Amino acid sequence: MVFRLKHFIVLIFIVATAMGLKAQDPHFSQFYANPLYLNPAFAGAKVCPRLVMNYRNQWPSIPGSYVTYNASFDMHINAIAGGFGVIVNTDRAGEGVLNTTAAALIYSVRIQLTQDWFLKAGIQAGFFQKSLDWDKLTFGDQIDPKYGFSKDTQEPRPAGGKYNQTDFDISSGLLVYSGRFYGGVAVHHMVPVNVSFTPEGTSYLDMKITSHAGLMIPLTQKGRKRLRPGDPTISPNIVYMQQGAFHQLNWGAYFKKEPLIFGIWYRHFFEGSDAVVLQVGFEYDKFKFGYSYDITVSQLASASGGAHEISFALDFNCPQKRKRVREIICPSF
């Protein structure tokens, strides 16, 4: 009875969030291991083809936690004079009660500002879908004072047992970079995205604004203008996100000495601290792997179980002789 009641409370919270409150996007701690999700302008930043996959399990100690999957592919294509990308993201909450799926195509263009400075602009268009599995819900009228959840609900069941809402979505981003510096701004959900499950209802997903910046500092041969492959580096970074009334600020740094990469971040809201994120990655030839763990430092610390995140990336050889296009030098995760 206690176990079922805990699930009931979690599901009520999820349904209330879906139907009455403003929705928010899932987030990742390994920002640069999921570059297209961070900023559409990163499409084609690696120049040659790149496949990226990500997995995040947030608050695993809480029943019905958030599990998010992401996959993307991008490359620079000479024929279209820019970068091309495709990204797919799914998020499961409440053990599959509430599901979100988004997929989009991305195009980016590169503009040379000076000899050492470049601008990339990206546009992303696709669909955003939310679904609610009614058959996995439990309602108050199912509770018997003696036997617990043993009654049939009188709530009307939707056709097919699911509520679905799909809408068009568009996002954009800008990047400015040189041999050592990179920074940008991304705006997601530029047009209203309706996530209400009722035909007459309207509940729009708030626009998400992300700004980020970082610097690659070589730890050898001071004075050299450009980094070389294999140089040990330290990279301080900052990422700020705002979506509706939600504000998140992330401070962190990476240390890289091939084949290993280490990172540490501190994430907090304007109202208080959230988590310390520890990261470790391995990079060999065209293969990259990263793992991170969020140590929750908020009031949820004792109950949440933190968050686990895994990333995988595979670079491919360019299928054609490419023009001289400089890739963006930034952390791997």
* pTM reported for the whole predicted model: 0.87
94 or 90, which is more confident: 90
Residue whose structure tokens are 């499409």: 43
Please compute the mean of the pLDDT values over residues 263-285 and round it to a whole number: 92
Average pLDDT, the chain: 86
Q: Give the per-residue pLDDT at 8.
A: 41
The pairing of beta strand 181-188 with beta strand 208-215: antiparallel
DSSP state of 25: -
Terminal C-alpha separation, the chain:
43
Q: Is residue 331 part of a domain?
A: no
With beta carbons less than 8 A apart as the criterion, state whether 91 and 97 touch.
Answer: no
Q: Give the per-residue pLDDT at 2.
A: 38
What's the Cα-to-Cα distance from 167 to each of 30, 100, 122, rounded to whole Å? 28, 12, 21
Distance CA 70, CA 92 (A): 12
With beta carbons less than 8 A apart as the criterion, state whether 191 and 182 touch.
Answer: no
Confidence of residue 4 (pLDDT cuts 50, 70, 90): very low
What is residue 238's three-state secondary structure? strand
With beta carbons less than 8 A apart as the criterion, state whether 86 and 104 touch.
Answer: yes
Query: Which residues make beta-bridge pairs with 76?
Result: 83
Q: Is residue 259 part of a domain?
A: yes
Residue type, 88: V
Distance CA 139, CA 158 (A): 15
**Per-residue b or e along 80-118, where b marks 16 or more CB atoms closer than 10 Å to that residue's CB:** eebbbbbbebbbbbbbebbbbbbebebbbbbeeeeeeeb
Residue type, 83: G
Can you give the residue range of the structural domain that contains 284? 2-315
Confidence of residue 258 (pLDDT cuts 50, 70, 90): confident
Q: Is residue 322 part of a domain?
A: no
Tell me which of 103-107, 175-179, 309-313 is least confident: 175-179
Q: Is residue 327 part of a domain?
A: no
Please state the φ and ψ torsions of residue 14, each to the nearest 5 degrees: -65, -45
Q: Which of 240, 249, 245 is nearest to 267 (CA)?
A: 249
The pairing of beta strand 66-77 with beta strand 181-188: unpaired
With beta carbons less than 8 A apart as the criterion, state whether 333 and 281 touch.
Answer: yes
Please compute the mean of the pLDDT values over residues 83-92 and round it to a whole number: 96
Confidence of residue 275 (pLDDT cuts 50, 70, 90): very high
Q: Is residue 325 part of a domain?
A: no
Please compute the mean of the pLDDT values over residues 98-124 and round it to a whole number: 95
Confidence of residue 9 (pLDDT cuts 50, 70, 90): very low
Q: Which of 70, 72, 106 is nearest to 87 (CA)?
A: 72
Which two tokens mark 317?
Answer: 């050889």
Q: Give the per-residue pLDDT at 159.
A: 76
Please compute the mean of the pLDDT values over residues 130-150 and round it to a whole number: 79
Number of structural domains found in the chain: 1
Q: Is residue 321 part of a domain?
A: no
What's the Cα-to-Cα distance from 45 to each of 22, 42, 91, 99, 110, rounded to whole Å? 33, 5, 26, 30, 9
Which two tokens mark 269?
Answer: 């809201």
Tens-digit pLDDT profile for residues 19-53: 444 568 998 999 999 999 999 999 999 999 999 99
* Torsion-angle region of 160 (φ positive above 0: left; ψ -120 to 50: alpha; else: beta): left
* Residue 277 CB-half CA count within 13 A: 26
Residue 5 has pLDDT above 50, yes or no: no
243 or 7, which is more confident: 243
Please compute the mean of the pLDDT values over residues 230-240 and round it to a whole number: 91
Q: Is residue 330 part of a domain?
A: no
Give the CATH number, domain containing residue 128: 2.40.160.40
